Structure 1
Amino acid sequence: MQPTPPPALAPQPRWVPADAVRVAGVLSVLVALTFDAVAVALMLLVLGGLVVPRVLRVPGPLDVAYGAGLLVAAWSGILDVYEAIAWWDLVVHLVVTGLVAAVAYLAVVRLGAALHPRDATTRGQRAGVVLLTVGLGLALGVQWEISEWLGHTYLDESIYVSEADTIGDLVADGLGSVLAGVVLVRRGAASSASATSERPSRSPARSPGTARSNRNP
């Protein structure tokens, strides 16, 4: 089966529900000014990330969940929630990295370098969607852990870094990315099945001879 080419982008609506999350991102930057430079830098990074789904035109529910996840993750760090609740860090890594991996996969699809989940019809193609999603999630997770180490080493020693924390975070990143890949495949299959069922059925054309024989039994 030939993959469906990336669809032409329709005119973008002026307002989508996830834009409320982006407004919250702008307000978060302003509030972060009352904390410190690290908080401001983190919120500016998050604000940049919030724009990505808007550019890619990802599905609305994913856009909202992704943006909300980024804000929760950032504010959890600024407000020391990770220190107050020991298991919260792993939960955030699992959920947010899964959402980020899903958006990253759809970005690769938009570039034309990967199969859209709705076009993954064979077991191998579906496995490929999951594997690429996991690879993207882990790669971004490693990048985040490196940024934490750089921040701890060169900016602020209060940024927590440890071998156990890094390994645990990456395991959660991987699990979240696996879940994201599975969800992409399942939703893609559902979308494909829905599109197939909505296609109008065409009755086979009859030959002239058949038509004459029906008129003259």
Structure 2
Amino acid sequence: MIRNFLRPPHGAAEWAADAVRVLALLSVVAAFVWWEPTDAGVLALVLPGVVLPRFVGVHPLFDIVYSLVLLVAAWSNVFDLYTGIWWWDIAVHFVATGVVAMMAYLFFARLGMLVEPGSRSFTLGTSLVLCTALGLAASAVWEMVEWLGKTYVSSSIFVAYDDTIGDMAVGGLGALVAGVLLRFLPLGLRPPGVLMLGSPLETKHS
């Protein structure tokens, strides 16, 4: 995965994906300067997430969508959209958990722990069950992070039983839909140092 991370971008989509990562870093700085340190902390949590696609070696278009969704989720907290728009929390949990579940599956597939998408043994059932499980696990972890934030960082963070259960249920549904998409979208992992179109990178030999 280190080779994927160090590989220079090729094509407009890969450059755009890296631009989103730069935007995520600038967002942390902007939140620290013009908003609250806690807002900067929330945005900082996004940074490992948007760097992960670089290590995994995913399709650049999915890289862009995934990273933008994480950024929107974080900025929504800064602008209080979760409490200002009644359906926003539901929509973000649905979409964000879905893309996180897909990325988690691709990450474990890169490690050789799960069947790689596009292979013969990668069935719809496999994708549905594992993506849903990964999404529910991610939802549970996020709710724990929210509880820790409310308990030890800021009492303004909203945590309630009904909200927690609802968020996990919506996230699980988003992960289920992600399982369908992962099965049928061409998101197979590229070999390290290989372009998404399948042509080897040009290398210089001394």
1:77 aligned residue: 77
Give the superposition deviation at 1:49.
1.0
Indicate the percent of aligned positions where both proteins have the same amino acid. Answer: 42
Judge conservation of contact 1:120–1:126 (CA < 8 Å) in 2. Answer: no
**2:106 aligned with 1:103:** no
CA change 1:39–1:9 in 2 (3 A) is closer
Whole-Å Cα distance in 1 between the matches of residues 187 and 26 of structure 2?
38
Look up the SS of the partner of 2:136 in the other structure: helix
**2:169 aligned with 1:171:** yes
CA change 1:84–1:150 in 2 (3 A) is same
Give unpaired runs (5+ residues) of structure 1.
1-5, 192-217
1:183 aligned residue: 181
Judge conservation of contact 2:127–2:179 (CA < 8 Å) in 1. Answer: yes
Judge conservation of contact 2:69–2:96 (CA < 8 Å) in 1. Answer: yes
| Corresponding pairs, count | 183
Which of structures 1 and 2 has the larger relative contact order (alpha carbons within 8 angstroms, sep 6+)?
2
Residues 39-77 of structure 1: CA deviation (Å, up to 9, x unaligned): 111111101211000111111111000100001000000
CA change 1:168–1:188 in 2 (3 A) is same
Whole-Å Cα distance in 2 between the matches of residues 10 and 54 of structure 1?
5
Look up the SS of the partner of 2:45 in the other structure: helix
Whole-Å Cα distance in 2 between the matches of residues 11 and 65 of structure 1?
21
Look up the SS of the partner of 1:117 in the other structure: coil
Q: How does 1:199-214 map to 2 (within 5 A)?
A: none
Judge conservation of contact 2:39–2:78 (CA < 8 Å) in 1. Answer: yes
Whole-Å Cα distance in 2 between the matches of residues 25 and 189 of structure 1?
23
Whole-Å Cα distance in 1 between the matches of residues 6 and 90 of structure 2?
39
CA change 1:149–1:189 in 2 (3 A) is closer
Among 5, 8, 11, the residue aligned to 1:13: 8
Whole-Å Cα distance in 1 between the matches of residues 20 and 188 of structure 2?
27
Amino acid at match of 1:56: V
Look up the SS of the partner of 2:159 in the other structure: coil
Q: How does 1:121-140 map to 2 (within 5 A)?
A: 121=121, 125-140=123-138
CA change 1:79–1:133 in 2 (3 A) is same
Judge conservation of contact 2:102–2:178 (CA < 8 Å) in 1. Answer: yes
Judge conservation of contact 2:58–2:188 (CA < 8 Å) in 1. Answer: no
Judge conservation of contact 1:149–1:161 (CA < 8 Å) in 2. Answer: yes
Amino acid at match of 2:7: Q
CA change 1:161–1:120 in 2 (3 A) is farther
What TM-score, normalized to structure 1? Answer: 0.78
1:146 aligned residue: 144
Q: How does 1:32-47 map to 2 (within 5 A)?
A: 32-33=31-32, 34-47=34-47
Moved over 3 A (4+): 8-11, 188-191
Residues 144-192 of structure 1: CA deviation (Å, up to 9, x unaligned): 001101111111000001111111100111011011111111125999x
* CA root-mean-square deviation: 2.3
For the pair shown, which has the larger CA radius of gyration, 1 or 2? 1
Amino acid at match of 1:150: L
What TM-score, normalized to structure 2? Answer: 0.82
